[in-house]
Structure 1
Amino acid sequence: MTGFVDLRNVRLTYGGTADGTLALDGLDINVKKGEFAAVVGPSGCGKSTLMKLATGLITPQEGTVEVAEKEVSGPVSIAGMAFQNPSMLPWRTTLANVMLPLEIVQPHRSKLRREKASYVARAEDLLKLVGLAGFGEKYPWQLSGGMQQRANLCRALIHDPALLMLDEPFGALDAFTREELWQVMRNLHAEKGFTVILVTHDLREAVYLADKVFVMSARPGRIIKEREVTFERPRPIELTYENAFNDIVHELRGLIADARAAA
């Protein structure tokens, strides 16, 4: 079945030559519209490479990459991206940082000047949704790391992307703040209904947030397991302490340990 994000038999070698680094080989992944997927695996297995393929930042030597039933041949405009480092511009306010993609992505770029008030209202609504109401005029240095990451999520969502790509977005945060932002992400996904692919090393994060978890082999990366996560939504954070939840975490950890041993 064709998914909203569909990678089929993808092979990618960095350097593009026979003696280059084979990053992915025979990779298949299918994520349905509105689904929350997580990708886990050993370090260096190609998780972030997969993300670059799905957003059109790189193209494979073999195989096909489709998003929204269109073959990807360049940057995907319907995607928003958030990374571990928020990379907020220090000379811009939080509100101005959130609105930055509107200055770049069409059709918003063409409409921004004449419809600025409505875009500002959209940005302020997003900030309120993630618990940053009233912080729009603050500068990044006036925000905690967790607050900056909340603003980073708003920036990724300001242009109403149909696809949200998350690359270790909570990895640099303390455990308590990380769990707070899991719940923020849970609520954003429930309200907005976008498709999400989360790349993470945190197996608890993957199981808490995702509808399905893809486990990758060691490099060259391919999918060795697609694990459905069927806990009812919305998921309370207390779920992460239950035996059924931790059983899945341990199952995934075992798969990754086996993948590392087989490398």
Structure 2
Amino acid sequence: MKPFVDIHDVTHVYARAEDGLPAVRNLTLKVNEGEFAAIVGPSGCGKSTLMKLATGLQFPREGTVIVDGKQVGAPVKLAGMAFQNPTMLPWRTTLDNILLPLEIVEPHRSRLRRHKAEYVAKAEALLEQVGLKGQGHKFPWQLSGGMQQRASLCRALIHEPKLLMLDEPFGALDSFTREELWCVMRDLHAAQKVTIILVTHDLREAAFLSDRIFCMSARPGRIVAEREVEFPRPRDLEIAYAPEFSALVHELRGHIAQARKAA
């Protein structure tokens, strides 16, 4: 199978890096179409750099980044992104925040005015899918943090991306809300079949959501372990209390502890 995201032997150094040390070195990673992959590793290991490379927000000094069969040389239009901070515009309603990418990304930008009702219906369907039915008229400050993050996921999916990049999207939430959103994300992936790369510090989150987990070394980051997650889907939160789940989390923690020692 041809990988959808193919990062091959990539080294990247930020121009502002005072020590001149690469953020990632000889980084190689392949993610198949429709797969849910998770990236874990010590703080500062280059997880967010990997995300920027895969979406064309940064370009490597060495190596190649290929997405959907094309070498990345510009921002990747087929990607959607969600971050730890939902960054909703406070003067726009939740619905208008969700529609925002359509004002930027072609071909939707050219179609938006003439087909506004169609896009609004799509946004409302996404809101219902994430448990926010009827909340589109509210402003972000009228929503809880968890509700804003749900809306942020809708915004990332509104232009029907083939690749969804998630950078610590649930990190700022309490544990109960975080687990609720794990289930939302699980269901969105099952329904949309989009390729997802999740960057997270939460090993339980990685184990619950993903098909495959990549562990990165300390800076300069590279992949030091790759683990398939074999728990059958759909997964219920009860799996997080099973011995085999705890064993996987413990194994991942061991890889990261080893990576820290090697730093």
Looking at structure 2, the residues matched to 196 and 143 of structure 1 have their Cα atoms a distance apart, in angstroms, of 26
Following superposition, the deviation at residue 14 of structure 1 comes to 1.2
Aligned to 1:159: 159
Residue in 1 aligned with 2:184?
Answer: 184
- Superposed CA offset, 1:161-202 (max 9, x none): 000000000000000000000000000000000000000000
CA RMSD of aligned residues (A): 1.1
What SS does structure 2 have at the residue aligned with 1:149?
Answer: helix
Once residues 75 and 40 of structure 2 are traced to their aligned partners in structure 1, the CA distance between those partners, rounded to angstroms, is 24
**CA–CA distance in 1 between the matches of 2:188 and 2:66?**
25
Q: In structure 2, how many angstroms separate the alpha carbons of the residues matched to 1:98 and 1:180?
A: 20
* Letter of the 1:164 counterpart: L
Quote the residue 1:230 is aligned against: 230
Counterpart for residue 255 of structure 1: 255
Taking the aligned partners of 1:53 and 1:16, their CA distance within structure 2 comes to: 17
Q: CA–CA distance in 2 between the matches of 1:250 and 1:130?
A: 31
Query: What is the distance in 2 between the residues matched to 1:94 and 1:88?
Result: 8
Counterpart code for 1:136: G
Give the aligned residue type for 2:15. Answer: G
How far the C-alpha of 1:2 sits from its partner, in A, is 3.5
Q: What's the counterpart of residue 174 of structure 1?
A: 174
State the partner residue of 1:210: 210
Alignment of 1:78-89 (within 5 A): 78-89=78-89
CA displacement 1:208-258 (0-9 Å, x = unmatched): 000000000000000001100011000001000100001000000011001
Where does residue 100 of structure 1 map in the other structure? Answer: 100
What do the CA deviations read for 1:97-133 (whole angstroms, capped 9, x no partner)? 0000000000000000000000000000000000000
CA distance in 2, matches of 1:54, 1:16: 20
Query: Is 16-25 or 171-180 further displaced after alignment?
Result: 16-25
- Superposed CA deviations along residues 142-177 of structure 1, whole A, max 9, x for unmatched, are 000000000000000000000000000000000000
Residue 197 of structure 1 corresponds to which residue in structure 2? 197
Q: How does 1:51-66 map to 2 (within 5 A)?
A: 51-66=51-66
Gaps of 5+ in 1: none
| Cα distance in 1 for residues equivalent to 2:79 and 2:120 | 20
Tell me the residue number matched to 1:146. Answer: 146
Residues of 1 paired with 2:192 and 2:43: CA distance? 31
Structure 2, unaligned runs of 5 or more: none
Question: Does 1:220 pair with 2:220?
Answer: yes
Distance in 1, matches of 2:157 and 2:260, equals 35
The TM-score with structure 1 as length reference comes to 0.98
The aligned counterpart of 2:27 is: 27
Contact kept, 8 Å, 1:2 with 1:30, in 2: the verdict is no
Pair 1:75-2:75 in alignment:
yes
TM-score normalised over the length of structure 2: 0.98
Deviation at 1:21, TM superposition (A): 2.8
CA contact (8 A) 1:15 1:21 kept: no
Q: Check whether the contact 1:218–1:260 (CA below 8 A) recurs between aligned residues.
A: yes
Separation of aligned partners in 2, 1:142 and 1:169: 20
- Once residues 138 and 245 of structure 1 are traced to their aligned partners in structure 2, the CA distance between those partners, rounded to angstroms, is 39
Secondary structure of the structure 1 residue equivalent to 2:9: strand
Structure 2 Cα separation of the partners of residues 16 and 96 of structure 1: 36
Q: How far, CA to CA, are the matches of 2:45 and 2:156 in structure 1? A: 25
Distance of 1:17 and 1:198 partners within structure 2? 25
Q: How far did 1:261 drift?
A: 0.6
Q: Secondary structure at the match of 2:13?
A: strand
